Structure 1
Amino acid sequence: MPYYSGFDNAPEQAGWQQFTKGATGYFPWNIGAGGYSAPNALSHDYPVGNPGTDTVTDWYVSPPFHFYGGGHLDSLKINLYSITDTFTAQDHFGIYYLTGSPDPALADTVVLLADLTAWASSSNNWRDTGGFAIPPYNGSTYIAFKYIATNDWFVPNVDNINMTGDTVNSVNGPAAYTNNIKLFPNPSSGTLNLQMPDNKPSVITLSDAYGRSIRRQEVQALNTSLDVSDLANGTYFISIMQGGRNIRTLNWAKQ
């Protein structure tokens, strides 16, 4: 944290994934030209094919974030285009947060942050939204966009997402402790070094960009070297737990 994505390059696209929960065989979520800021944005074309019978329900879900002290979806750009200048009873476009799993069917909680369906317009204008509070959660939290449509020309576009996480504070000042956790070199090609403020027993979990656990290791040292030479290039996360609580998650890149 902070986090930004305009879906403009591989790092900004890393970890995002689609979940199809309705009719299949129609246009999926797509990253391409036509954003608020060049070169790209996220969009979803309307379904065509069996008018009024097939309902598309597609989610587009972020990589995992860790809001131990809470956080904010500060701002993003939305263009909700409809050739008819309105929406139907079946249409829906909403911003959600999920906890526990990126799959909405498996998530511990699925919470609507904003229903923007009524923004549908033929004016084809970008609008600002944001300022959504995300509560503290001791685990993985995901930001998600949900699109539902049957046969209306109802096309959402998303760009320039900004998020921040709030600092965790207490009498003992854990923020000062966790800020002294260092991970280097970043990016790494072969060996990743983790430097801790002390040698308290810790559990390190290495996850990929989708939040899937790859490796778990117990350590009790100031300095730990991790061999990551066998991993494919991309974005990864390292979570550090002490006393059964995740105290910090760091992202890094394999190149």
Structure 2
Amino acid sequence: MKKITLLVAAMFFAFAANAQLVEVVEDFESGAFPAGWSSVVNTGDCDVSFGADMPTGPSFPSSAVYFDDDACGNGMDPSNVTIYSDVYDLSSSDGVVTVGYDVAFQEVAAGDTFLAEVNAGDGWETLALYDVDLAEILTESFDGTATNEDFQVRWTFDDAGEWAWHGAIDNFNLTYTNVLGVSDDAVEGFSFAPNPAQDVLNLNAQTNIERATIVNVLGQTVIDAEINATSSTLDISSLAAGTYILKVAVGDETGTYHIIKE
């Protein structure tokens, strides 16, 4: 069952931007994967199951998705199975993202693991590695940055070639903020680079750049620089990662541009 909550906060920039907080919540109450979710059997013959009762250790209060290596059986081929979330487009977000889920894991000291990873634009990166028994259902929450179109989370159970127990997840949640209604209003002859940027933004124009202002998604001015030159640089190293609006006054024109701070 999917729940998407949209909390709309109107932001009154001079160019009328809106920000929309998006919360995606997935559970497994139907006893099946939600739309867009899947599992892949990398090695072995067994796949995931759905239910609240775990083979050993703490159980969930409601249905979860889990891999049960115990039920797979002793003497079977090594098991390595991955659960994939849906793919989420964060290209219109402000870059700030929170991922959470409930997790259960029990091992038999044979090297079995349950690995959580995220694709936030730079390939798969580790969120958490579970390799010891969890005494209770653990609620996890991770904050990070991402603006990629193919944001995704995955969990891989690996029994290390031995008869093992299980790994399970439930109550997945993803929270991010979309920046809406802001379109670039370009000034002819003006350019800036790089975008995305980490430390410095280079500004160039054919005529005099009078002022450059950077505004965050709350409408707050975070940089306000008097330029009075045809080229300049802005130091953005102190800004938090995310999406901002660059406003430039060039001659008698004003331009607005999306910029992404990494």
Under a length normalisation based on structure 1, what TM-score does the superposition of the two structures give? 0.52
- Residue equivalent to 1:77: 102
In structure 1, stretches of 5+ residues that fail to align are 101-107, 169-174, 179-255
- Given the superposition, is the C-alpha separation of residues 77 and 148 from structure 1 closer, same or farther in structure 2, using an over 3 Å criterion? same
Matched residue SS, 1:2: strand
In structure 2, stretches of 5+ residues that fail to align are 1-21, 54-58, 184-262
Counterpart Cα distance in 2 of 1:11 and 1:42 = 8
Give the length in aligned residue pairs: 152
- The Cα shift of 1:12 comes to 6.8
- Residue equivalent to 1:232: none
Counterpart check, 1:112 vs 2:126: yes
Counterpart check, 1:128 vs 2:115: no
- Given the superposition, is the C-alpha separation of residues 12 and 18 from structure 1 closer, same or farther in structure 2, using an over 3 Å criterion? closer
- Given the superposition, is the C-alpha separation of residues 31 and 163 from structure 1 closer, same or farther in structure 2, using an over 3 Å criterion? same
Question: Which residue identity lines up with residue 20 of structure 1 in the other structure?
Answer: V
- Residue equivalent to 2:110: 88
- The Cα shift of 1:93 comes to 0.6
Identity %, equivalent residues = 14
Is this contact kept in 1: 2:74–2:163, CA < 8 A?
no
- Given the superposition, is the C-alpha separation of residues 128 and 10 from structure 1 closer, same or farther in structure 2, using an over 3 Å criterion? closer
Question: Which residue identity lines up with residue 31 of structure 1 in the other structure?
Answer: F
Under a length normalisation based on structure 2, what TM-score does the superposition of the two structures give? 0.51
- Residue equivalent to 1:176: 181
- Residue equivalent to 1:56: 79
- Residue equivalent to 2:174: 163
- Residue equivalent to 1:29: 48
Question: Which residue identity lines up with residue 2 of structure 1 in the other structure?
Answer: E
For residues 66-119 of structure 1, give each alpha carbon's deviation from its aligned partner in whole angstroms, at most 9, with x where no partner exists: 12233434422111124x4xx322x1211112368xxxxxxx72221111223x
Question: Where in structure 2 are the equivalents of 1:202-217 lying within 5 Å?
Answer: none
Question: Which residue identity lines up with residue 29 of structure 1 in the other structure?
Answer: V
Question: Which residue identity lines up with residue 127 of structure 1 in the other structure?
Answer: L
- Residue equivalent to 1:143: 153
- Given the superposition, is the C-alpha separation of residues 60 and 71 from structure 1 closer, same or farther in structure 2, using an over 3 Å criterion? farther
- Given the superposition, is the C-alpha separation of residues 58 and 134 from structure 1 closer, same or farther in structure 2, using an over 3 Å criterion? farther
Query: What is the Cα-based RMSD across aligned positions, in Å?
Result: 2.7
- Given the superposition, is the C-alpha separation of residues 152 and 72 from structure 1 closer, same or farther in structure 2, using an over 3 Å criterion? farther
Counterpart Cα distance in 2 of 1:19 and 1:50 = 21
Q: Once superposed, which parts of structure 1, at least 4 consecutive aligned residues long, lie more than 6 Å away?
A: none
For residues 103-161 of structure 1, give each alpha carbon's deviation from its aligned partner in whole angstroms, at most 9, with x where no partner exists: xxxxx72221111223x24x4x2112112425221x22211111101223321121111
Is this contact kept in 2: 1:37–1:159, CA < 8 A?
no
Counterpart Cα distance in 2 of 1:156 and 1:73 = 22
Q: Which has the higher strand share?
A: 2
